Amino acid sequence: MKHITTSSPLAMLGGKPACVTPTPDWPVFGREEEQALLEVLHSGKWWYGDRVRAFEEAYAAFHDARYGISCCNGSVALEVLMRSMGIGAGDEVLVPAYTFIASATSVLMVNARPVFVDVNEMDFNLNLEHAESLITEKTRALMVVHFAGLPIDLDAVRAFADKHKLRVIEDAAHAWGSQWKGVGVGTQFEGGTFSFQVSKNITAGEGGIIITNNKDTADLARSLTHCGRTLNGAWYEHRHIGGNYRLTEFQAAILLQQLARLEAQTRKREENAAHLNTRLAEIPGIHLQQTDARVTRRSYHLYMFRFVAEEFGHIDRDIFIRALEAEGVPASPGYLSPVYGNRCFQELRHVPGLRNCLHHAACAEAAVDYSRTHCPVAERLCSAQAVWLPHALLLGDQEQMRAVAAAIEKIYQHREALATATMT
């Protein structure tokens, strides 16, 4: 690897860290957010008003959608979208096994059943071939997750959904600004959802949004987030059984300013990720997410790769991460298990709080047992292979990216010494 410029020992073994520049702070904010919050504070109009509507319109337009319906978080956004699509008791929804737990628990919350699908090694998105093997007469919908901000092959998803007459839900909680063939994700089918939780690339601490081009879906979603009210109904007229899932003016004020920063931040993350891709592609055992040429803009919520110990040599993933952090690069193994490995799924039929839930009854009747679920790629990612670098790191400068790449190259160069030291 021609880029290695140092033979100094690893930081774990007494050497100097390769990366000494701190990771940029997150969240990014400035006087714009401060002024916007003060304007809301002094206006006395703190609740669900003009700024919420302005953000909904601006965010929907950013993703090429006609309608945006904000809500309190991304988990609720998924629930509301599915209810708006008529997904409920007795239905099965295909869900990737490698995702945040809310992708699956939201299905339970609408009294449907998640069926877990393995992911692809090359992009960490849902494997459609495996999905096909799981379809039953109860399969109603397919949930796709654009993992780490990388859109799944949406042309293939459309062909799959058309073939099996399935609805499609886009969980785009990692994909703010990502585009497939020049069009924002979340608008390719009936609707998509996004999260604005504090770790996300655009944040107000919490928050979420549903986007859609379908007016009926939008109107029902709006009602369900707004206590069942309808656009032309009286204030105390509640047509649907909804909830209070609204954003406040304070959150919308922050999000409007965060959205103004998002496009430039997305470009910078893409540029820095491209530099890392070039450097890391040369290292044995480092397998990058493979990006389709039809992805015309990529949000990076994570910079993620597979670490294959047998190819890298001598050390396992967890030691690699410890060494990388010692070199000054923040890193994580990500999820501890696929979604179905969490206790709440392994013991689903025995959870007291679900005894009166329609889904619990359906699970008991169908003898649903997630302990029998097996998705080998997702399991390998969780137990031994996934390495996550945070999106804030990609807001650093080119020198920092060179240092990050050099840190990984340095670990590879000294892998035998590291293996020897960690075995004693």
Which residues are the active-site residues?
100, 171, 174, 197, 200, 229, 236, 246
Q: Where are the alpha helices (DSSP H) in 348-397?
A: 358-366, 376-380
Q: Cα–Cα distance between 164 and 135 in angstroms, integer?
A: 8
CA–CA separation, 322 and 305 (whole Å): 16
State the Cα–Cα distance between residues 71 and 10, nearest whole angstrom: 47
d(CA 55, CA 61): 10
Cis peptide before 27 (omega within 30 of 0): yes
- Dump the DSSP string for 227-260: TT--TTS-TT---S---B-PPBHHHHHHHHHHHH
Residues 331, 404 contacting (CB under 8 angstroms): no
DSSP state, 137? T
Residues in a beta bridge with 208? 71, 195
| H helix intervals, 139-248 | 154-164, 215-225
Burial class (CB in 10 A: 0-12, 13-18, 19+), 135: middle
**Rounded distance, CA 315 to CA 418, Å?**
7
CA distance 101 to 75: 9
DSSP-assigned beta bridge partners for residue 332: 388
Tell me phi and psi for residue 142, to 5 degrees. -120, 125
Which residues, other chains included, contact 196 with Cβ-Cβ below 8 Å and sequence gap of 6+?
73, 74, 202, 203, 204, 205, 206, 207, 208, 209, 251, 255, 258
Report the C-alpha gap between 329 and 178 in whole angstroms: 25
Residue among 97, 92, 96 at smallest CA distance from 108: 92
